[in-house]
Amino acid sequence: MVERPTELTEEALSKRLLSESTNHPFTLSTGVIGLLGGGAAVLFASSELFVGLSVLGGLGLLASAGFVLAKNLFGRSKSMLSIVEQVRKEVMKKRIDIAGSVKDNLSNFSDQKGLIQLEQLQAKFAAFESVLALQFDRDELTFKRFLTTAEQLYFGSIDNLRRLAMQRHSISAIDIVNIESRLASVDISSEEKSTFEKRKIIYDNANKSMESIYSINEQAMTKLDELTNKLGSIQTRSGVADVRLETAMKEILHLISRTDEYDISN
């Protein structure tokens, strides 16, 4: 099952930043201190402790609210960059080992079609990253957002090739030549015929699945080419740039989300 893509639109990043800052240990701990201090001040309203508890409660709540505001307003850009970088590390950690083993697995089965796709995917992703670097500084939030999203598409396609290699492993012990020869024999028994037919169905279904994987990767590469071209034609300093880039971002996300359906041609 293909993982749901991590959305990196401005809205999604804002929601994640707000959630992470409000649930941060510092926010929670100072908030609790503020509430406890305020509650204690109410209980000891007539006591000499009232002023001290009130100050403690106020400082706790102020620190908690101040931390959230600092993260979401004053340090918004830096915080968002941190989130995007975190997502990148999560994606890379999950998928980097896969890319290293896919080539060996495909080579073991002399899968030239899969090996060619692997090379093309690497080349197209490199081209996308190069164009992105020409349009934006690498420290810009937009650069990191697009790169991270494209990486999810790239590694998702690599993962498809991993699944394809597993399919080849799963049917490697099925001798289809012998099966077809026996099924064509006139002296085959009904029981034997039924057994061979079942094996052939397994083999044929696996091959259909592999063809679907080839197809979806070809469609993914075409989309990546289109997006690279679109990105290259965008005037990033124009007033409509942000809108067009957001549209391209959503297009990539839509593409990734449909990869498990084996149909992303639309």
Tens-binned pLDDT, residue by residue, of the chain (266 aa): 344 445 555 566 666 666 666 777 777 777 677 677 667 666 666 666 666 766 666 777 777 777 666 666 555 666 666 766 776 676 666 666 677 788 888 999 889 999 999 999 989 988 998 888 888 887 777 777 788 778 778 888 888 899 999 999 999 999 999 999 989 888 889 899 999 999 999 999 999 999 999 998 998 888 888 888 877 877 654 444 454 556 656 666 665 555 444 334 44
Assigned domain for 57 exists: yes
Q: And the tokens for 105?
A: 């697995």
Residues 38 and 127 in one domain: no
Residues 82 and 177 in one domain: yes
Closest CA to 37 of 66, 58, 68: 58
Give the domain-ending residue among 9, 42, 74. 74
Assigned domain for 59 exists: yes
| Cβ 141 vs Cβ 245: under 8 Å | no
Residues 162 and 65 in one domain: no
Residues 168 and 139 in one domain: yes
Residues 81 and 70 in one domain: no
Residues 82 and 35 in one domain: no
Degrees, nearest 5: CA angle 146-9-121: 30
Give the domain-ending residue among 56, 74, 92. 74
Assigned domain for 132 exists: yes
What does the pLDDT read at residue 260?
Answer: 45
Q: How many domains does the chain have?
A: 2
* Domain of 26, in residue numbers: 1-74
Distance CA 69, CA 26 (A): 13
Assigned domain for 266 exists: no
Closest CA to 130 of 42, 240, 232: 232
Q: What is the pTM (predicted TM-score) of this model?
A: 0.60
Residues 33 and 128 in one domain: no
What does the pLDDT read at residue 80?
Answer: 64
244 exposed, middle or buried (CB, 10 Å; 0-12, 13-18, 19+)? middle
Residues 10 and 132 in one domain: no
Give the domain-ending residue among 19, 48, 74. 74
Assigned domain for 13 exists: yes
| Cβ 80 vs Cβ 43: under 8 Å | no
CA distances from 265 to 229, 254, 258, 260 (A): 18, 11, 10, 13
What does the pLDDT read at residue 133?
Answer: 86
Distance CA 244, CA 105 (A): 39
At 7, the amino acid letter reads: E
Could you tell me if residue 9 is left (phi over 0), alpha (psi between -120 and 50 degrees) or otherwise beta?
Answer: beta
CA distances from 10 to 17, 84, 142 (A): 10, 11, 9
Assigned domain for 31 exists: yes
Q: Which residues contact 174 (CB under 8 A, 6 or more apart)?
A: 199, 202, 203
Distance CA 175, CA 127 (A): 41
